[in-house]
Amino acid sequence: MQHINVKIFAAGSADLGEAIPVFHRWIKDTLMPEMLIDVAEYRHVPAGPGVLLIGHEANYSLDEKDNRLGLLYNRKGAVEGTFQQRLAQAHKAALAACDRLEKEMNVKFDRKKLEVFINDRLLAPNNEDTWKAVEPELKKYFPNSTLKRVGEPRDLFRVEIAAA
């Protein structure tokens, strides 16, 4: 499975407007490993995508879906390797972005509260078969954590994780 996304929740609120110049500088100074292209802001959309840093292989955003602010790493391009390696790539990219944002903005992240989801409804529908395939992989990567599959069948496959 490809297109693994990780959202690490904020510990409190943030002024999303602060992210706009920060994300523009990330593009200008080539601060992330992906090719970054543009910044889009949707702060006016309630419980929406917030502020996006659009890249060729992946997007980063300060996302407010379900009124829960967090850093979302949305992997769009394929990544070589096993599921564990692809999960590790997405998780490390999200953590690195959180670290950078905490230094450059007035925002804090709770690295123990996150979501992992797969942005591919065809290959990873939000159903029991996908859960049976992915749950052991998540337990292996996040040992001693609480996992909870969330959403409806028409939603992306998504798991809330309370890390140990």
Tell me the pTM: 0.95
Q: Where do the domains of the chain lie?
A: 4-162
103-134 burial, b at 16+ Cβ within 10 Å, e below that, comes to ebbebebeeebbbbbbbeeeebbbeeebeeeb
Q: What is the pLDDT of residues 66-121, one digit of tens each?
A: 999 999 999 998 899 999 999 999 999 999 999 999 999 999 999 999 999 999 99
Look at the block and give the residue holding tokens 């007035």: 106
